[in-house]
Structure 1
Amino acid sequence: MFRTTRLNRGSLRMSEQEKGPPPEHSGDNALNAYLMSVPSRVAEARGIWYRPVEKSREEVSRTLDRVQAMGANELYLETWFWGYTIYPSAVQAARGIEPQHPAFQGWDPLETFVAEAGARGIAVHAWLDGFMVGVDPAGGPILRAYPEWAALTRKQAGSATPQPQPETGFFWLDVTNGDVSEHVLSVIREMAMDYQIAGINLDFMRLPLADDPEDRYCYSDAARSAFEREYGTDPLQIGLDEGEPLWQSWTTWIARREDDCIANLYDEVKRIRPELVVSAAPEPGIESDLIANWSQHVDIVIPQAYHNRSDRVRETVELYRKLLPSSNLVYSGLYPMYVGLDIPETIEQVLTAHEQSEGTVMFALGQATDEAIRALRQGPWRTPAVSTGLFPLQAVQAIVQDVKLKIEEIYEPRHGIHAGAAQEMSRLLDDMLGGLEPESGAVDVAKLEARAAALTACLQEQSEMAALPPDVYSQLRSSAERMYQLLQYARMKLRK
């Protein structure tokens, strides 16, 4: 069973105008030559989302062989979906909730994926469906056990049984209910403590927004009572005029409860395992609109840049980069495999992600063809890469070494840089490498940030003196700016 819910929320809908003509290529030889010519970065995240279906360690091994074959270094494994964990959860069992998805009973696929992926140099992130718990008419395992935990729309207020979202049929947990938030946090705490996962990938962490106010969340008994205690008014009695102050107070109150839940989750994860990376994959709509509220509570943001053309991908990712502080890394969430785009367009989207972000996460492995896997490995994922989000200092080191190599073997021999400029930049790069591998003590990240800034200033000066051609200057400046941002991220998010 593969995840298809994003289609239902509109993020995968395509217009005829957006599709455009397919890129042209003539023959396998031409395509292979093109793939071998595209750049392959030494530092970036190369991830793919995946909902598991395996029944044994052998099947897991075969799946991970395909992930390794494409050149990926991160797997976003759906670990909690439809309200079930894929592993046997003591937390769920203690609550009287079914402890494991019935498809996986009798073994622990999460443990197996983590072990087998680690043997291949692939990091596993636990991808969670958050407060969306599926389409089971009974509400799934959590709402069967605790029907009072269901989120309800205004129209559904007062219902004694869980009710689905009108547009999608999804059932949602009530994020304003303290018991719900604590249970979600407890499950995530269990994953972080019991499994050597590299990160937590959050999805569906806000209640959906509907055009019809009668279909908006959350009017559960718990939400109504809590709001009334604070404001003296049952939200059902508030008019639907969005300009009314009390309506604004109500919608802000809901958003604040969602923000508080993410903040508590982030703090707890970092308390247990500071190196664990927390990422969010916001969908178009309310999650995207309010992602800046979460910037301090997630490390990496992976916008769902789900388009059929690379220029639209660029627009989406650029928007998020403007919304978020530089301490957040941005990856690009792409879907060419899911909708069967041809290989040239798939590769073009990955190259666009190179220009805009520190990594790519593809949706999804279940739809990855052998042709697409080969193309990624022949092309942009050809050489090994250090994950920028997981190992930012090692990533900076790889970028520095790559720039030094290009100066020594390409730019200077081919007269793409004046000898004096090459000497000065090599000195600055050597200073960076020395700071990344100090003879004693810890790495001083703040000092490295200053050195990266000095490198950028040097490049600007050399460009103004015409010691660097514009294209060489652009490439070197991009590398220096990446170093600086990765160092900021390492210091501010991973506490390096």
Structure 2
Amino acid sequence: MPSYFSCNFLIFLRFIAGLLFIFLCSGCAPQVKTAAWVIRFDIDSPQKIDRVCNAAKSAGLDELLVQVRGRGDAYYQSSIAPSPDYHEGNAVDFDPLEQTLESCRPLPIHAWLNVYYLWGDLKPPKNLNHPGSPDQPWILKDNNGRSVSDYSAFDKQLGWIEGVYADPASGQYRKLFTEVVNELINNYKVQGIHLDFARYPGAAYGKNDRLAAEFEKIWGLDPRLLPDDLDREKIKKWLNGQQSPADLLLTTGALFWNELRAQQITRLIREVRATINSHRNGRGQRAIRFTAAVFPDASEAYLTKGQDWQSWADQGLVDGLYPMAYFGDLDRVTTQLDQVASEVTPQVELWAGLGAYIKDPQRIAEETAIARRNGYQGIVLFSLGHLLDKDEPISAYTEAARAPLFTLQSKIASSKAQCYPGSDNPSLKVCTTELTGIVYKSFSNSPPFQSDLEQILSRRLAEYRQAMPMIGQSLNLLQKTTLTLPEQIELRGIFRYTSPLDSENRWQQQRQTCEEARQLLESGEPFGIIAKKMSQGGTKSMGGLLGSRFIDQLDPIDRQLALLQPQQISPVIEVANGFWVYRLDSKETGKPIEFEKTPWPARRILFRQQLTETLQSQAADINTLAGKQGN
């Protein structure tokens, strides 16, 4: 029998333990959940479905996101979307989604649909009615007017595009996609609708004729004459007035174009939300969750991909966001997950998308700890099929997510307005409000110069308004004059990628790797071998070919490249997302040409040069003009 002292001591220990539990768990949320993406090739037979479902249950996963629309097709019975070739060797009535729902029960199943990515092969679909068929009216074009259906393998690699995309500005495609979602919800008891590829492939796409005309009507300028690439550093220089007068105007226009472009995707998100809301249950609650996989860097997602997920969350258009933090070292993943948590309203669930297919359980455990610390509801592993083929059991990954999590608050800024820069002062104030929202999104809700931001943006808008007649004058001069094409060069390149979120040490490592590649090239090593071994560029397996490039003498990097002689290697050149080393293969002197017959990349250069000359010739000090507006 225990002594009186030992009994009381045990009671005391239990009392202290109880206090500690109450103290530690007073801020606790439920345990972080675990889920996994399941790609379509892992559900294209009954045997594969059984394997996936058994593995998910054994590993203790809480839910699955199952890809049922990969390339504009349907891994379920559909009267709208075409069926892929999964019937060979299976029963005629085999329905991958229906069997997944049945075999995985009681696990919740979210239907994962790729939105705009329609086709990946170089040969077009045999089915002429396939959404990715070249004759469909919604096929995306690049900013030079070329359909992505016409791209070769080299064009795809050079353009950083996976394949054929639908144009987000197409009303016909929005209608088709919402019909797909509606049919799916009507016929299958899925837990949620989960979107992927809800984005443009990059900044070099989307300036189609209709949207360009809409923009030009307001801003007096075809957006195809604006720079394609915007990043935080360029916008910071624009805010600080560190650009030339012409570039200040062009950056203002580019920011508003980027917002119009992003609105096309948000419009589809809003229409899908409305479709899902029409399926509410009798108690007025949403019967189906609506979520999206997104790029984790909000600024890059918005400026490059037109993926304005900050606004989707702020406007309540989605129930959850799944930032795909697959790549990079722990510093990058930590920064990505931290930033997303700080930018998203608490009403929207966050699930950290982790690259388990390229990382070991220990690394996933470390990244899961970051997600828990930031209040994420769960982690999602990419992908279950990949994990089934690895040596480690799936449970080694899911056990990393069993600890309790703590919730955090978040914030977001947004702006809604209609802007007409050529109108009177009330409209300029509206433009300033809209531009404020654009700048906040461009800097992940943390723009520089916040105390003076309204004054700075008012000045930039006044500059643009004052210069609108000069923009028109510059275009008239170009259209009336026989021009000379800019010098054209053929390049090869070796690229090393860095994210703005990477550590300084990572940037130094990538610069050093690029320098090592340059030294090997200087020593006579074949460019193709070094590119394949050391480059992270899209054409590394194609000898590092970069195609032709028109030289813009107003661009510092272009001026540096123009000095190279054929076969000469450049020094390492730093850009916004990494480092390049180039080799000049050939040069071609410009020839006389009319402006309307000039390729769009050359038109942008010629317009920028002419606008610069027009402003100089009229002694138009843009900053002074803006000052006279009373800003």
Name the residue aligned to 2:132: 143
1:243 and 1:323, CA in 2 relative to 1: closer, same or farther beyond 3 A? farther
Name the counterpart of 1:100.
83
Of 45, 54, 58, which aligns to 1:65? 54
Partner of 1:175: 168
On the 8 A contact 1:47/1:362 being kept in 2, the answer is: yes
Distance 1:352 1:359, change over 3 A: same
**Which structure has the larger Rg?**
2
User: Of 304, 324, 327, which aligns to 2:347?
Assistant: 327
Shift of residue 169, structure 1, vs aligned partner: 4.0
Q: 1:287 aligns with which of 271, 276, 301?
A: 301
Q: Does the alignment pair 1:346 with 2:364?
A: yes
Distance in 2, Cα, partners of 1:228 & 1:193: 41
2:102 matched to 1:115?
Answer: yes
Deviation at 1:47, TM superposition (A): 0.6
> Could you tell me how far apart the structure 1 residues matched to 2:146 and 2:248 are?
23
Q: 1:330, 1:181 → 2: CA distance?
A: 26
Query: Is the CA contact 1:219–1:236 (under 8 Å) kept in the aligned structure 2?
Result: yes
Match of residue 257 from structure 1: 264
Equivalent in the alignment of 1:81: 70
Q: Tell me what 2:609 maps to.
A: none
Match for residue 278 of structure 1?
Answer: 290
Contact 1:300 1:329 in 2 (8 A): yes
| CA displacement 1:311-364 (0-9 Å, x = unmatched) | 5433211100111111111111111x211x333223232333222211000111
Q: Once the two structures are superposed, what CA deviation does each residue of 1:251-299 show, in whole Å capped at 9, x if it has no partner? A: 2221112111111111211222422111111125643663211112111
Structure 1: stretches of 5+ with no match in the other structure? 1-38, 93-98, 211-215, 389-496
Counterpart for residue 205 of structure 1 = 198
Quickly say closer, same or farther: Cα 1:139–1:348, change in 2 above 3 A: same
Shift in alpha-carbon separation, 1:136–1:319, aligned structure 2, 3 A: same
Give the distance between the partners of 1:242 and 1:257, measured in 2 at CA: 25
One-letter amino acid of the structure 2 residue matched with residue 78 of structure 1:
Q
Aligned match for 1:318, one of 338, 344, 352: 338
Corresponding letter in the other structure for 1:268: T
Deviation, structure 1 residue 183:
0.8
Helix, strand or coil at the partner of 1:148? coil
**Unaligned stretches of 5+ in structure 2?**
1-24, 229-246, 281-285, 408-631
DSSP-derived class of the 1:303 partner? strand
Letter in 2 for 1:143: G
Report the Cα distance in structure 2 between the residues aligned to 1:377 and 1:80, rounded to whole angstroms: 26
Indicate yes or no: 2:32 matched with 1:44.
yes
Secondary structure (helix, strand or coil) at the match of 1:361 reads strand
Q: How far is the alpha carbon of 1:237 from its aligned partner?
A: 5.3
Q: In the alignment, which residue of structure 2 is the partner of 1:366? A: 385
Deviation at 1:233, TM superposition (A): 5.7
Higher share in strand? 2
Amino acid at match of 2:352: S
Q: Is the 8 A contact 1:72 1:381 kept in 2?
A: no
CA gap 1:49/1:104 in 2 versus in 1, 3 angstroms: farther
Note if contact 2:40-2:70 (Cα within 8 Å) is conserved in structure 1.
no
Measured after TM superposition, the shift of residue 209 of structure 1 is: 2.7
Report the 3-state secondary structure (helix = DSSP H, G, I; strand = E; otherwise coil) of the residue aligned with 2:40. coil
1:266 equivalenced with 2:273 (yes/no): yes
Change beyond 3 A, Cα 1:271–1:229: farther
Amino acid paired to 1:249: F
Displacement of 1:161 in angstroms is 5.4
Which moves more between the two structures, 236-245 or 317-326? 236-245
SS of equivalent to 2:257: helix
Identity fraction in percent: 22
Q: Quick one: distance in 1 between partners of 2:398 and 2:179?
A: 39
The 5-angstrom pairing of residues 456-495 of structure 1 reads none
User: What is the TM-score of this pair, normalised by structure 1?
Assistant: 0.60
Contact 1:128 1:201 in 2 (8 A): yes
Matches within 5 A, 1:397-408: none
CA distance in 2, matches of 1:317, 1:160: 33
Give the superposed CA RMSD: 3.2
Does the 8 Å CA contact 2:168/2:174 hold for their aligned counterparts?
yes
1:222–1:112 distance in 2 versus 1, CA, 3 Å = farther
Residue by residue, what CA displacement relative to the aligned partner does 1:215-243 show, whole Å, maximum 9, x if unpaired?
x1213344345545666765445576574
Q: Deviations over 1:25-53 (max 9, x none)?
A: xxxxxxxxxxxxxx998543311011133
Q: Tell which has more relative contact order, 1 or 2 (C-alpha 8 A, sep 6+).
A: 1
The 5 A counterparts of 1:412-491 are none
Matched with 2:206 is 218
Residue equivalent to 1:410: none
Instruction: Decide which structure has greater helix share.
Output: 1
Q: In structure 2, how many angstroms separate the alpha carbons of the residues matched to 1:242 and 1:173? A: 32
1:365 alignment partner AA? L
Aligned equivalents of 2:119, 2:148: Cα separation in 1: 19
1:196 — aligned with what? 189
